[in-house]
Amino acid sequence: MTDRAIETRNLTKRYGDETAVEGLELAIPAGSVYGFLGPNGAGKTTTMRMLTTLTRPTDGTATVAGANVADRDAVVSNVGYLPEEPPLHAELTGREQLRYIAGLRDLPESEAEARIDDLLDRFSLAGDADKRISAYSKGMKQKVGIIQAMLHDPDVLFLDEPTSGLDPRAARTVRDTIADLTEGDATVFLSTHILPVVDELADTVGVLYDGRLVTEGSPDHLKTRAEAGDERTLEDVFLEVTGGIGDAAEEG
């Protein structure tokens, strides 16, 4: 790992005449949480797909965990990715799914079993681990998706709406896990509409709007008005920089 876990220069993605992401410049330190915000359609998922090598940039460059995204093998061994819809095999049990992922990651069997047991217990899934995923609730599937994304102890973890479908206790487990990961020098790139999660966890927040990064800074910095020193909420900032267009929500 370098001192920057994620770095982009003029990162751009076009689909024909449509520009999904334009000129993105990021420099995210290792061991930090980066909160990536934006309304639906802003280009957040496209950005995450470029950074995880699932989509090739049209222009610009990016490195993740010190590896250029053009080198897929070098990147994927060091990253974990939870998309908004976790890729799961419904016919497998939760434990079988995680063993399958451990095999793809070439984890030694004894290490894999220990990590699987630990993470199943942490996310309160141990009692349901041998049931088929087809019988799982949305929240249970989300937990399996999170576990498989972090199973190989990646240097950089990309999370797209990680608390979606989770009850408050499970959502708290996710937040505690993110905090634990960064204490161990992992970097978390967190995309969510739940602004209190970002406010609590993020070292830096970036807001994407219409494919462009329109503001960036620590939550405290963004919430303080430069002129008057008046305190704002992160929701106020989000709505201001996106022209009042927002899908962000307070967590209830």
Are 248 and 180 contained in the same domain? Answer: yes
- Check residue 89 and give its pLDDT: 97
How far is the C-alpha of 209 from the C-alpha of 32, rounded, in Å? Answer: 23
How many Cβ atoms from other residues are within 10 Å of residue 3's Cβ? 10
Q: What is the extent of the structural domain holding 183?
A: 1-78+156-252
Pair (183, 61) in one structural domain: yes
Structural domain contains residue 221:
yes
**111: which 2 tokens?**
């290490």
Residue 131 lies in a domain: yes
Q: What is the CATH number of the domain that holds 196?
A: 3.40.50.300
In the structure, what pLDDT confidence band is assigned to residue 32 with cuts at 50, 70 and 90? very high
Helix 94-104 and helix 109-122: axis angle, to 10°? 140
Number of domains in the chain: 2
Confidence grade of residue 249 (pLDDT, cut at 50, 70, 90): very low
At residue 232 the predicted structure's pLDDT band, cuts being 50, 70 and 90, is: confident
Are 113 and 166 in the same domain?
no
Contact (CB, 8 A) for 64 and 78: yes
133 backbone dihedrals φ, ψ, rounded to 5°? -65, -30
Lowest mean pLDDT segment, chosen from 143-157, 201-215, 216-230:
216-230
* Domain membership flag for residue 10: yes
Average pLDDT, the chain: 92
Query: Which residue, of 153, 173, 201, is where some domain finishes?
Result: 153
Residue 252: the pLDDT is 31
Is 127 within the bounds of a domain?
yes
Q: What is the pLDDT of residue 2?
A: 59
Same domain, 71 and 98: no
**What average pLDDT does the segment 210-225 reach?**
91
pLDDT tens across 110-153, in order?
999 999 999 999 999 999 999 999 999 999 999 999 999 999 99
This prediction has a pTM of: 0.92
* 68, 164: one domain: yes
- Residues 34, 126: one domain? no
DSSP state of 155: S
Section 59-88 average pLDDT: 96
52: in domain = yes
The whole-number average pLDDT for the span 55-64 is: 98
Residue 143 within any structural domain of the chain: yes
State the average pLDDT over residues 237-248. Answer: 75
Question: Domain check: are 26 and 128 in the same one?
Answer: no
- Residue 83 inside a domain? The answer is no
Asked if the structure places residue 1 within a domain, the reply is yes
Domain end point (choices 153, 178, 195): 153
Say whether both 70 and 170 belong to one domain. yes
* Final residue of a structural domain among 137, 153, 169: 153
Q: Which run of H or of E encompasses 140?
A: helix 138-150
> Tell me, what's the pLDDT at 250?
42
Cβ contacts of 66-69, under 8 Å, gap ≥ 24: 66/1, 66/2
- 39 and 64 housed in the same domain: yes
**Pair (141, 163) in one structural domain:** no
Q: What is the dihedral of CA 244, 249, 158, 218, to 10 degrees?
A: 60
- Give residue 229's pLDDT band: very low, low, confident or very high (50, 70, 90): low
- Could you tell me if 68 and 165 lie in one domain? yes
Question: Do residues 70 and 165 share a domain?
Answer: yes
Three-class DSSP category at 4: strand
Q: Where are the beta strands (DSSP E) in the chain?
A: 4-15, 18-29, 33-37, 59-64, 67-68, 79-82, 156-160, 187-191, 204-209, 212-217
